[in-house]
Amino acid sequence: MAITEKDRDVLARTLWGEARGESLAGQIAVACTIRNRVFDGKEKSWWGEGYAGVCQKPYQFSCWNKTDPNYQFLIGVKQIPSRELAQCRVAADQVIDGKVADPTGGATHYYALSMKKPPGWAAKAKQTLKLGGHVFFKDVP
């Protein structure tokens, strides 16, 4: 699969929207979860095609929902602080370029611990990692 500059940019912006308060390791874990969706092994994936397709597919990552307060930053109406975006770009590039191992153990889902209650799917899924403010899962029914 050819990775485009749009893929890199959209992944970095998604990391900012989903995990800007995390360490580089936490952002890498979120990026690996996205990579696991991109490379799920299916010819035509439900998740979407490529990094940009997966990140921007409706309702997969709340930061891309038009009603989310992060959305105006992600589409460029408001400016993301350059230092924050730069760290997200480092995480995105390391994951896309295969320079880091997947710390999530193959997770395809995560949720933020800041949520009032865990999503329903988490009860029947296999937790693979808790890092920073996120919990990661695979084998989600």
Q: How far apart are CA 133 and CA 124, in angstroms?
A: 20
Average pLDDT over residues 35-59: 87
Question: CA geometry: angle at 69 spanning 30 and 50, to 5°?
Answer: 40
Q: Using pLDDT thresholds of 50, 70 and 90, give the confidence band for residue 127.
A: very high
| pLDDT above 70: residue 44 | no
Pull the structure tokens for residue 6. 């749009």
Determine the pLDDT at residue 99.
97
Rg from Cα positions in the chain: 14
Determine the pLDDT at residue 107.
97
State what percent of residues in the chain have pLDDT above 70.
Answer: 98
List pLDDT tens digits, range 98-109. 999 999 999 999
Between 82-96 and 5-19, two packed helices, what is the crossing angle to 10 degrees? Answer: 120
Q: How far apart are CA 64 and CA 9, in angstroms?
A: 14
Inter-residue contact 101 to 93 (CB < 8 Å): no
Q: How far apart are CA 6 and CA 22, in angstroms?
A: 23
Q: Which amino acid is at 39?
A: F
Cα–Cα distances (Å) from 98 to 32, 71, 117, in that order, read 10, 28, 33
pTM comes to 0.94
